[in-house]
């Protein structure tokens, strides 16, 4: 059980509590990725199948985290498991360390679904993909600064871990957001290379882009912020025209939205071609992956050649500066690509993705109706198979609009839901899978109703 003591929920989950204490002795903060942490401690899982997770205390959950959206076909989908096992058995090894045919097969499939990605390279995460995207943009434009939008996340890079979640006190004026760095350890001379833009405000964005046009190599954007707050079509169209006019590379970070809002990503919905796209999560079928693709003239700057081989002893060091360096031992890992290709193939079959979107919409609408019954203002905001629950009756068009939401109630509900067998990290978005059933939806709505009555009852005491 979970109970509230001085506004802090304390679990009676002995196994997770013990493991967390043990982890803290050898792992800083007890977790290997900061996103996995929440108070009083995260839940340690031991098994997953379909839409479900089982923790070390043998409690079962309907999972809406799905490894932060990566598992669109759920945990341990039999066809994905077969594809990875088959790749291992057929190849006789885990990895070749050389080019292999699946790299070409996957690149052709990505290009088919994302025509803007004319040439493609692989990485091991969305963060790595955005690192190469940054380097390519600077090489292409010969400009040094980057712009990003307030509230958007593009990985743990120095010049992008900026104004992801700034406080109202530090964020500055809405039309000219302040660049708020979200981590320690960034050198002072790096703290002036990122311009922060206001999402869904085209007039203010245009003023900032024109002011800094001679400095800006690229604009990074999550076309659907956080996977759930969509840009308006007018905003995306205007941004595309501006970046073309001003010689600024437009980079769509579709790590969250790729395959989850449409097989062809958000760019298909908006009918726009960015200069560079980065992908991750779903693309790996649950394995670590990243992909970078875009215009041939930009991507070819990373093309390896004998003269510019940084690893070749005695090579012409001057020639290496003509090539955008990109490498990685595990780039294009065959097992990862096998899992990703099987995942995409599943999504293309038998209207599977349409059914997934329909089930997601059903859950969203039923939850909104439930909260309305209790006179609690709530919007289930999202696109495709992703949504988030925001306790507000006001419009949500950007990060700052979330300041008007009741986050305390959201956290209380989320913690209560963990006690009732619904798994999503508190305050995080919901991701659906093809393995979620109508019964899962019924059980989830029922759990929300219990959470509402429990939380409201406790608040009245």
Q: Hey, which residues are catalytic here?
A: 153, 253, 281
Distance CA 271, CA 437 (A): 31
**Nearest 5°: phi and psi at 122?**
-110, 155
End-to-end CA distance of the chain: 19
Is residue 74 within 8 Å of residue 385, measured between CB atoms? no
Is residue 426 within 8 Å of residue 436, measured between CB atoms? no
Torsion of CA 406, 411, 412, 418, to 10 degrees: 150
Within 8 A by CB and 6+ apart from 355, the residues are 434
Token pair 């291992």 is found at: 88
Other Cβ atoms closer than 10 A to 134: 22
Cα separations in angstroms, 435 against 46, 71, 117, 206, 222: 19, 10, 30, 43, 26
Look at residues 288, 246, 252 and name the one whose alpha carbon lies nearest to residue 271: 252
Token pair 């076909």 is found at: 73
Look at residues 279, 278, 281, 257 and name the one whose alpha carbon lies nearest to residue 383: 257
């Amino acid at each position: 059980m979970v109970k509230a003591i001085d506004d802090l929920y304390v679990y009676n989950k002995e196994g997770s509590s013990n493991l967390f204490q043990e982890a803290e002795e050898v792992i800083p903060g007890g977790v290997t990725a900061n996103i996995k942490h929440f108070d009083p401690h995260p839940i340690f899982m031991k098994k997953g199948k379909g839409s479900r997770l089982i923790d070390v205390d043998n409690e079962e959950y309907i999972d809406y985290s799905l490894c932060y959206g990566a598992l669109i076909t759920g945990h341990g989908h039999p066809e994905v498991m077969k594809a990875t096992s088959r790749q291992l058995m057929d190849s006789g090894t885990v990895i070749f360390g050389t080019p292999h045919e699946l790299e070409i097969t996957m690149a052709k499939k990505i290009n088919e679904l994302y025509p803007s990605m004319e040439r493609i390279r692989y990485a091991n995460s969305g963060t790595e993909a955005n690192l190469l995207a940054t380097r390519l943009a600077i090489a292409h434009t010969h400009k040094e600064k980057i712009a990003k939008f307030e509230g958007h996340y593009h990985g743990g890079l120095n010049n992008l871990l900026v104004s992801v979640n700034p406080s109202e006190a530090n964020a500055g004026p809405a039309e000219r957001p302040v660049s708020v760095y979200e981590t320690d350890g960034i050198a002072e001379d790096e703290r002036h290379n990122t311009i922060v833009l206001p999402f869904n405000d085209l007039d203010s964005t245009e003023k900032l882009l024109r002011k800094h046009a001679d400095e800006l190599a690229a604009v990074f954007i999550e076309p659907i912020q956080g996977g759930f707050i969509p840009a308006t079509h007018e905003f995306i169209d205007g941004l595309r025209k501006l970046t073309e006019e001003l010689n600024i590379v437009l980079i769509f970070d579709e790590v969250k939205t790729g395959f989850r809002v449409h097989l062809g990503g958000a760019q298909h919905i908006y009918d726009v071609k960015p200069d560079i796209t980065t992908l991750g999560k779903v693309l790996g079928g649950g394995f670590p992956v990243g992909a970078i693709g875009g215009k041939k003239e930009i991507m070819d700057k990373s093309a390896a050649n004998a003269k510019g081989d940084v690893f070749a002893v005695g090579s012409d060091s001057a020639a290496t500066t003509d090539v955008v360096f990109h490498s990685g031992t595990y780039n294009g890992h065959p097992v990862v690509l096998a899992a990703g290709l099987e995942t995409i193939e599943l999504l293309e079959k038998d209207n599977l993705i349409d059914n997934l979107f329909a089930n997601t919409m059903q859950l969203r609408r039923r939850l909104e109706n439930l909260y309305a019954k209790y006179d609690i203002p709530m919007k289930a905001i999202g696109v495709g198979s992703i949504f988030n629950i925001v306790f507000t009756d006001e419009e949500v068009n950007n990060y700052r609009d979330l300041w008007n939401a009741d986050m305390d109630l959201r956290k209380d509900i989320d913690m209560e839901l963990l006690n009732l067998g619904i798994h999503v990290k508190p305050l995080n978005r919901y991701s659906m899978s093809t393995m979620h059933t109508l019964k899962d939806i019924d059980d989830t709505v029922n759990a929300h109703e219990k959470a509402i009555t429990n939380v409201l009852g406790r608040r009245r005491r």
